[in-house]
Amino acid sequence: MTIEQIIQKQSTTIIDVRTPAEFSGGNVAQSINIPLQELQSHLKELKEIKGDIVLCCASGGRSHMATQMLRQQGFDNVHNGGGWLEINNYKPN
């Protein structure tokens, strides 16, 4: 399954790992803002997500680090979506 197909599933949760200031400047509708440096403290609530988790940021660097960190914590439903603008293009209308 491609990242575009994963993003388009209704059960997918999009998490933006940018800072709150960056997030408030533009984001994917219905995405959740959890800054990269705070991700570790949200593991319990992230484990409750049943569908796929797609991580995004400005260009894909921080979301890549977040994806790797979550996979090391045992998550197998996480995907690096790259930049939030690109994900926004994949979202269904």
Task: Note the pLDDT tens digit of each residue in 53-90.
Answer: 999 999 999 999 999 999 999 999 999 999 999 998 88
For the chain, how far is it from start to end, CA to CA, in angstroms? 20
* Structure token digits, residue 19: 């800072």
- Our CA dihedral for 18, 24, 33, 22, rounded to 10 degrees, sits at 0
Query: What letter would DSSP give residue 40?
Result: G
User: What pTM, to 2 d.p., does this model score?
Assistant: 0.95
Task: Note the pLDDT tens digit of each residue in 36-51.
Answer: 999 999 999 999 999 9
Residue in the block written with tokens 């570790």: 40
Looking up residue 71, the CATH number of its domain turns out to be 3.40.250.10
Structural domain span for residue 35: 3-90
Q: Based on the structure, what is the number of domains in the chain?
A: 1
Helix (H) or strand (E) holding 70: helix 61-72
